[in-house]
Amino acid sequence: MRGIHPQPGRLLLVGSTRARAGVLLICCALLVVALGVLFAHQTRADWLAQAVDSPVITWLGSHRGLLLWLAAAGSQIPAAVGSAALVLACLVAGRLNGAVLAGTAVLVAVGLDEEVFKPLVHRTYMSAVTYPSGHTTGIVTLAATVTVLLLLPPQPAKSRALRSAIAATAWLLGAVVAIGVIGLRWHYFTDTLAGAAVGIGTVCGLALFLDLPAVRRWLALASRLLPGGSATLAA
């Protein structure tokens, strides 16, 4: 069966989606850098955070249990489970490049948060370093990965409704997580905005990288090492 013999797979981004992904990557990078410069070493809420965060804290701040549930989808275990499920689905579908994207996207995005942006910007909220929001980064990275794998063409029309529903649910969870971490006073609104930009930009960058001819040749070589692998590069 084809599903148990993963191949490099068709391109993740085709036609105009490649150019759009490149533009989106640049926009996300500029947003993260601009906000990082603006809020570097900040220890208190700015006017935008006060305008957005205060109503959320006022409405939901007394419901800590609910807020913890809202933020939970962006924690490490759900992110790992979601990534593993996507990797398995891609391998079953014979999309090795999709499996690599799903297996690396969250790790790379959260790694950028923890090892690059948080130390450099060092924005704090109640003594905790907060920029960008790792919870938001994790869930938005998953949502962006789902979008690339399930919605971008070419895709079979017969399953479009189901694929759209899955992607919409993932993006809804991203918004829910952002509300949760703001209400818990773990992050400012702009932390969640930057976290989303890191997640989206990472997925765009990885997808563009995995579609490079040289990388596809490496994936073709790797596919030969898998059980039942073939030397044929999928179109």
* Predicted confidence (pLDDT) per residue in 100-119, tens digit: 999 999 999 999 999 999 99
Count CB atoms within 10 A of the CB of residue 225. Answer: 7
* Predicted confidence (pLDDT) per residue in 108-147, tens digit: 999 999 999 999 999 999 889 999 999 999 999 999 999 9
Nearest to 202 by CA among 151, 152, 140: 140
Answer whether residue 233 shows pLDDT above 70. Answer: no
| Residue type (1 letter), 26 | I
Sign for the pseudo-dihedral over CA of 92, 97, 99, 102 = negative
Cα distances (angstroms) measured from residue 107 to each of 140, 155, 177: 13, 27, 18
pLDDT of residue 157: 74
- In percent, how much of the chain has pLDDT > 70? 91
